[in-house]
Amino acid sequence: MTPNCGDTRSGARVLLVGLLLLIATATSACFVEPIDQGRPSVAPSEHLRDGPQTATLPDADVNPVADDPTPRLPTTVDSLRYGRVTVTDASRVIAVDQYGTLGTIVFSLGLGSHVVGRDASTSFGSAAHLPVVTNRGHSINAEAVLALAPTLLLVTDTTLPQASVDQIRNSGVTVVVFSGRRSLAGDDPLMRAVASTLGVAPQGEQLIARAHRQIEQARRRVPSPSGDPSMMFIYVRGPGILYVGGPGSGADDLIAELGGVDAAQRSGLSEPFTKLSAEAVLAADPDVILVMTQGAATVGGPDGVLALPGIADTGAGRHRRVVQMDQSTLLSFGPDTGEVIAALAEAIYT
């Protein structure tokens, strides 16, 4: 059978036209701009301040949401380690927490007049006169607590030694244990739980609402786009106690709210706290370093921090970007989270 050359030529023309259309479409697509360009990009250091900075809250004292509200007791609440606990008397309260968060919440609820003792981190103005019941390292002193005859002790599951907490409870003091982990997500549950324990649940909701407003206001202090600068929190207690804060340390939450990238996590560190080494710092190469003011003082202040292993060769070291903040506020979260974010943003960005 002889092929139909006319049909063959017609089919070839159709195929050729199709190929040309396909090539034209693909070629023109290379020059079509995307519909969504996204946010303009800036360099990580675009908005950063150079040189050491100190972040401070606008007020050195707590601003209560109420004036000495009357607790509605008894109330029964969940306590870590001890299960359900009934609170009948909140007339003499002691709050012990590594970061001072529990004490800050009690005062912020308007019950500061009920507090008879404090931890070393609860150091704001209206609490400063109270006797301290913690030793070095934030460990609780059972004898110091019992000498103040408290009716209610608030602690965390990280309060040590546990034997001392048990001793206080066995002496007849009502003890309620809260989570010691501090994070943005944990703020509302913690404030609500403390308010319920003290019998002032309505004031707890007022405090949460105020905290939300302050956080939203603080977010407006962060440049948009920020440039995603890398930031690292270093826990310092003298030259021999140096740790890098990573995922779960609380510093990661703050860094995210500040428009930054957690340098520790980006470099592969996966623990909340990892012992500092020059290798780890160089691998992380942060643009900004965050420290507690009191910790920095143990190595000679910001200049001493810049002299720690590896830091001089990072972006933060070359531009001397060390931001320090009081230990009672930097990682405490709770009622002051919004003010902490705002103060840090002001210290970090121009």
Contact status, residue 338 vs residue 208, Cβ threshold 8 Å = no
According to CATH, the superfamily of the domain at 225-348 is Nitrogenase molybdenum iron protein domain (3.40.50.1980)
Tell me the β-bridge partners of 349: 48
Model confidence band, residue 13 (pLDDT cutoffs 50, 70, 90): very low
State the pLDDT at residue 6.
44
> 225-348: same fold as 75-199?
yes
State the pLDDT at residue 40.
58
Entry pTM: 0.85
State the pLDDT at residue 19.
36
What would the CATH number be for the domain defined by 75-199?
3.40.50.1980
Mean pLDDT, residues 80-95 taken together: 98
Contact status, residue 89 vs residue 73, Cβ threshold 8 Å = yes
Inform me whether the pLDDT recorded for 294 exceeds 90.
Answer: yes
Query: Distance between CA atoms of 189 and 242, rounded to whole angstroms?
Result: 31
Query: Distance between CA atoms of 290 and 306, rounded to whole angstroms?
Result: 11
Contact status, residue 172 vs residue 114, Cβ threshold 8 Å = no
Q: What is the DSSP string of 6-38?
A: HHHHHHHHHHHHHHHHHHHHHHHHTTSPPS---
pLDDT digits (tens, 9 = 90+) for 233-265: 999 999 999 999 999 999 999 999 999 999 999
pLDDT digits (tens, 9 = 90+) for 311-328: 999 999 999 999 999 988
State the pLDDT at residue 136.
81
**DSSP H or E stretch at residue 174:** strand 174-178
Who contacts 149 (Cβ-Cβ below 8 Å, separation ≥6)?
Answer: 92, 116
Query: Distance between CA atoms of 143 and 167, rounded to whole angstroms?
Result: 9
pLDDT digits (tens, 9 = 90+) for 197-219: 999 999 999 999 999 999 999 99
pLDDT digits (tens, 9 = 90+) for 136-147: 878 999 999 999
